[in-house]
Amino acid sequence: MAATTTAQHRRPTFVQVAIALQTSAIFFQAVTAGLLLSTSHGEVLHGVGARVMYGASMLYVLAAVLAWRPGGGSPRPILYSSGFLVLASVQVVLGIAHIPSLHVPLGVLMFGLSVLVLGQVSSPHWSARSGTGS
């Protein structure tokens, strides 16, 4: 007897969208950091991107809390999202203080961690592990 499997197309969850937005915003920051060195409007774009990135980090915290409360899933994503918000806060302070020797490596670390988390929550097995499946 052959088992029939069908691919289910699921809409992305709020957590997945929030992490994707955060990852995109951090990548945008890397691009505008390069523009800082070559154009006059790079500083404006980097400043706007910083606000968007910080807002995306706050959105990730909100998404993690909302995903945890109704579904009774693990609170671990709240810890991860709060950690990102702390890193984003440190990043903003370092940027305002013009300390590129710490600001740039922290940005690279944040991008890598955000891509890692995005990959984890985008995997097909994530929704089954986290208890947020439909």
Q: For residue 113, what pLDDT is reported?
A: 96
Q: For residue 40, what pLDDT is reported?
A: 85
Q: Rg of the chain's alpha carbons, rounded to an integer?
A: 17
Contact (Cβ atoms closer than 8 angstroms) between residue 113 and residue 80: no
Query: What is the value of pTM for the model shown?
Result: 0.81
User: How confident is the prediction along the chain (134 residues), in pLDDT tens digits per residue?
Assistant: 555 555 566 788 899 999 999 999 999 999 999 998 898 889 999 999 999 999 999 999 999 998 887 767 778 889 999 999 999 999 999 999 999 999 999 999 999 999 999 999 888 765 555 554 44
Instruction: Give the Cα-Cα-Cα angle 36, 117, 73 (nearest 5 degrees).
Output: 140
Instruction: Give the Cα-Cα-Cα angle 133, 118, 96 (nearest 5 degrees).
Output: 135
Q: For residue 133, what pLDDT is reported?
A: 46
Q: For residue 37, what pLDDT is reported?
A: 86
